[in-house]
Amino acid sequence: MNKKDLPEILEPNDFQPQSTTVWSFPERGSWATHAQTGKYRGNWSPYVPRNLIFKYSKSSETILDCFCGSGTTIIEAKLLGRKSIAIDINDNAIKLTKQNLAFALPKEWRYHKPDVRAGDARDLSKIKDNTIDLICTHPPYANIIQYSKDTTEDLSHFGVDDFLQEMHFVANENFRVLKPGRCCAFLIGDTRKNKRVVPLGFMLMRVYLRAGFILKEIIIKEQHNCKMTEKWQNTSQKLNFLLIAHEYLPVFEKPT
């Protein structure tokens, strides 16, 4: 897409803010440049950040995504008139995010240029204390999908124990930069080892509670169109275990 191009569709026609703690989006969403972001493995549906941004922020406030991937959250921040900061340790992710943000908006729309930069979610020292209005992010699920080849500090290379240890630094930095009384939300799923569940979602929630956050909501998001489901279908029946078909979307609040 040329930078001057105006996308044919700028927002979903059927958007309704979610009102319960179970979210399900069978159609991923392809407005703006989300059709491109959908090619990035493991990224979340744009309906997720759209709902979070609507519910927990106001126009011109600042959204942070410190695991920006291909830019889904930041695209939504741009469309919804929010300021935004996008960070990822993977240079390829930063390149994709910039490409996916390169679309025009109607002149009458409020627009803030996103701040997209390479960086480590464990060290947000370039962001001042108490300056972010909403953290809305989708970290890797330990080493289920590896997003880089040569970036040894990429958390997608870490096993569960090391991943959780490093996420303590992320949680502490998230707590520091977020304004008191504001929200931090992330999407995380569980995994399996030796046919048994590793409750990565609850483990990561505990990390954020230890950092000082208060748990405001636990949203269950149904999984759809997951490539891994097809891969494990026969194996799950043979070995008698259930396929994981949900993820957790905890919403934390920083105490005032």
pLDDT, one tens digit per residue, over 119-149 is 999 999 999 999 999 999 999 876 666 666 7
Please check whether residue 17 lies inside any domain of the structure.
no
pTM over 0.95: no
Q: In the predicted model, is pLDDT for residue 228 greater than 60?
A: no
Q: What residue numbers bound the domain in which 214 lies?
A: 22-253
End-to-end, the C-alpha distance of the chain in Å comes to 43
What digits encode the pLDDT tens for the residues 69-97?
999 999 999 999 999 999 999 999 999 99
Q: In the predicted model, is pLDDT for residue 2 greater than 50?
A: no
Please check whether residue 6 lies inside any domain of the structure.
no
- The tokens for 178 are 């977020």
Strand order in the sheet with 22-23: 22-23, 214-222, 246-253, 178-186, 132-137, 62-65, 83-88, 115-118
Task: Return the pLDDT at 179.
Answer: 98
> At 220, which helix (H) or strand (E)?
strand 214-222
Neighbour tally for 133: CB within 10 Å: 20
**Measured at the alpha carbon of residue 213, what is the angle toward residues 207 and 217, in degrees to the nearest 5?**
95
Please check whether residue 77 lies inside any domain of the structure.
yes
CA atoms within 13 A on the CB side of 224: 13
Q: Cα separation of 205 and 199, whole Å?
A: 10
Please check whether residue 16 lies inside any domain of the structure.
no
CA atoms within 13 A on the CB side of 198: 16
Domain count across the chain: 1
Q: In the predicted model, is pLDDT for residue 217 greater than 90?
A: yes
Q: What is the CATH number of the domain that holds 146?
A: 3.40.50.150
Q: Cα separation of 123 and 145, whole Å?
A: 22
pLDDT band at residue 38, thresholds of 50, 70 and 90?
Answer: low
What digits encode the pLDDT tens for the residues 162-176?
999 999 999 999 999
Please check whether residue 172 lies inside any domain of the structure.
yes
Mean pLDDT over the full length of the chain: 90
Please check whether residue 13 lies inside any domain of the structure.
no
Please check whether residue 214 lies inside any domain of the structure.
yes
Of residues 66 and 227, the one with the higher pLDDT is 66
Alpha carbon 32 to chain centroid distance?
A: 18
Task: Return the pLDDT at 1.
Answer: 47
Q: In the predicted model, is pLDDT for residue 250 greater than 50?
A: yes
> At 251, which helix (H) or strand (E)?
strand 246-253
Task: Return the pLDDT at 146.
Answer: 64
